[in-house]
Amino acid sequence: MEAVNLKKKECKIVVAVDESEESMYALSWCLGNLFSQNTTNTLVLLYVKPPPPVYSSFDAAGYVFSSDVITALEKYGSDLVNSVMGRAETIYSKFSSNINVERIVGSGDAKDVICHTVEKIKADTLVMGSHGYGFLKRTLLGSVSDHCAKHVKCPVVIVKHPEKI
């Protein structure tokens, strides 16, 4: 595997963020370890929201979905994006290095969207938090970080939260 040259003038480092403390810790770790005063790295915050449900006028039980319910669900999704990106901004604004920040919001299955986005933007590194699931839960639910580590071409750093070790 090729080593990432973080001393080059500009690296594109993607940090997958979500609602979890683990992802915010991974962002802090990334800023403290992969950014310096001498680089003009680009921090790409990638948030993947679940795909929007397909609505019909009736649900499986025959109840009618009003446009108010659909609008409320869409607003909740938008509020969630703003909340996660706001928390991330609070973290990166505390670092004084010269950081260019890009925000990308995807929709769909997290592991597929992350892998696709990393390849599409030609990221130099992907940083992800680990939820610390045990073997059984990871086997049943699947691990997004494991999937990404196996499928993207750039180095992947999986950061464990110290309280989960």
Torsions phi, psi of 144, nearest 5? Answer: -65, -45
Output the average pLDDT for the chain: 82
Cβ atoms 18, 40 nearer than 8 A: no
**7 in a domain, yes or no?**
no
What burial letters (b/e) apply to 43-69, b meaning 16+ CB within 10 Å?
A: bbbbbbbeeeeeeeeeeeeeeeeeeee
List phi, psi (to 5°) of 93. -70, -15
Does residue 109 lie within any of the structural domains? yes
Residue 55 and residue 16: Cα distance in Å, rounded?
A: 28
- Does 89 or 132 have the greater pLDDT score? 89
Q: Give the pLDDT confidence of 73-106 residue by residue, as tens digits.
A: 777 778 889 999 999 999 988 886 568 899 999 9
Residue 60 has pLDDT above 80, yes or no: no
Q: Is residue 38 part of a domain?
A: yes
Query: Does residue 24 lie in a domain region?
Result: yes
High-pLDDT (> 90) share of the chain, %: 48
Quickly state the pLDDT bin for 1 (edges 50, 70, 90): very low
DSSP-derived letter for residue 57 is S
Tens digit of each residue's pLDDT (9 = 90 or more) over 12-35: 999 999 999 999 999 999 999 998
Residue 141 included in any domain: yes
Total count of domains within the chain: 1
- Domain assignment present for residue 3? The answer is no
Contact (CB, 8 A) for 75 and 67: no
Domain residue limits at 120: 12-164
Is residue 2 domain-resident? no
CA 100, CA 10: separation in Å to the nearest integer? Answer: 10
Please determine, for residue 157, whether its predicted confidence score (pLDDT) is greater than 90. Answer: yes
Is the pLDDT at 162 greater than 70? The verdict is yes
Which is more confident, 67 or 32? 32
Give the strands of the sheet with 125-130, arranged side by side. 100-107, 42-49, 12-17, 125-130, 156-160
pLDDT at 131: 76
Dist CA 21 CA 78 (whole Å)? 20
- 112, pLDDT greater than 70: yes
CB 39 within 8 A of CB 96: no
* Overall average pLDDT of the 42-59 stretch: 76
Q: How far apart are CA 10 and CA 129, in angstroms?
A: 23
Q: The CATH number of the domain where 80 resides is what? A: 3.40.50.620
In this structure, is residue 53 part of a structural domain?
Answer: yes
